[in-house]
Amino acid sequence: MTFKKKAAVLSALVAVLALVYVLSFVFDPHRQNDRAFAWLEPELLNLADRIEIHGYGNDGETVVLSRKNNIWGIASGMTDFPVKQGRVEDLLAALTRKGVYPRRAASFQARERLGLEEQTASRIVIRGGAGLPLLDLLIGTAEALGQGVYLRRADKSEIYSGEDNFTLYTENGLVFWYDLRLFSHIETASVQQAEIVMPPDEEGGINAFIFRRSGNGWIIPGTEGLDLDAIRVEGWLRSVLEAEGEDFAAAVPVSIDGSVTLRLGDGGSRVLQIGPEDGEKRRSAVVSQSALVYVLPEWTINRLFRDISSFLKTY
C-alpha cells in the first residue's frame, strides 16, 4: 500500500472515531440527564397548599407554611402568624425555574457520602392536598468548590448537583419567614396626628406630646413656641410605619409603659402599646386591630420613642 493510500485510510479512520465519540455524547443517557429541568412543574403551583421545610442548619427546626385564601402563613395553635409572601414566592420560583443539574451518582454509598440520606439531608416538601407530595426534595452537602449542592428527589435514586438556591431557606428558622411589620398599608401622608406617651423617664422629662399636621409642617398644640423640624418629624413617622419586631411573643404585656397613637385622615387610628423591659431590655408590644404580640429590641424602642428635643430645629 502506497503512502498516500495509508494516509487516506488513517484519515478516514480518524474521522469515523471522531464521529463515534461525538455520537457517544449525544446519545449517552447520562448526558441526557444533564439537560435543564425544573424540580417542580410550574403548572402544579396552583395545587400547592402546604410547604414543609426541614433544615439541619437551623437546629433541626421544621417550618410549615400553609396557604389559606391564597395567602401563606404559619399556624401555631390557635394563632396564624403572617409570613413574607415575597419570600415564599421566591422559594417557589427557585423550584419551578429550569436549571442545569448534572447527574452525579445513584448509589447508596453516594447518598451517604453526599449527605442525601433521608435522616441527614435538609428537605423541602411541597404538598397539594392529600396523597403523595408534589415534590419531596433532599438537599445534601456542598460541592467541593462550594458553589453548588447535591440534590435528590426522595423517591428517586439519581443524585444531581446544581446551583445552591435552596439552603437559604433550609438553614433559617421561623423568624426568617415571619412578616414582623407593626403597621402595613399606611402611607405617611395619611397620618394627620401622632400622640406619643413616653416610657417612664427617671430624669422627669416631658413624657407625653402630640404632633399635628399644620399646612406643610407640624406643630405641637399648646406649645407653638417650639420650632419643630418637619423633616425630622416626617423621618420619625416613616420609622414608625416601617418598624418591625424581632420575633412574636407568646403573651400580651403585663402592663403598658408607653404608646404611639396615629390618627388617620379617614377618621381611623392605629395604636402601638409597649410593655415593661425584660432582662435584655426588650419589650413586648401590641397594635390595635391585631391579635399578634411582637418583641421589640432596645434599638427599635429608642428609635420610636424619642425625646421631644430630637424633633426641634437646630441653628
| Most distant pair of Cα atoms in the chain: their distance | 116
- What is the tens place of the pLDDT at every residue in 166-216? 999 999 999 999 999 999 999 999 999 999 999 987 565 568 999 999 988
Whether the pLDDT of residue 113 is over 50: the answer is yes
DSSP-based three-state secondary structure for 234: helix
Whole-prediction pTM = 0.84
Would 150 be classed as within a structural domain?
yes
| In a shared domain, residues 233 and 269 | yes
* Percentage, residues of the chain above pLDDT 90: 74
The answer to whether 259 and 274 are in contact (CB under 8 A) is yes
Give the domain extent around 36. 32-177
β-strands 269-277, 283-287 pairing: antiparallel
CA distance 274 to 291: 14
Cell of 264: 388617620
| pLDDT at residue 169 in the model | 96
The answer to whether 187 and 205 are in contact (CB under 8 A) is no
CA distance 65 to 50: 6
Would 22 be classed as within a structural domain?
no
Whether the pLDDT of residue 305 is over 50: the answer is yes
Would 136 be classed as within a structural domain?
yes
Q: Can you give the CATH number for the domain in which 262 is found?
A: 2.60.40
| pLDDT at residue 95 in the model | 98
Region 32-40: what's the mean pLDDT? 79
Query: Across the chain, what does the average pLDDT equal?
Result: 88
Q: How confident is the model at residue 28 (pLDDT cuts 50, 70, 90)?
A: very low
How many domains does the chain contain in total? 2
Choose between 27 and 192: higher pLDDT.
192
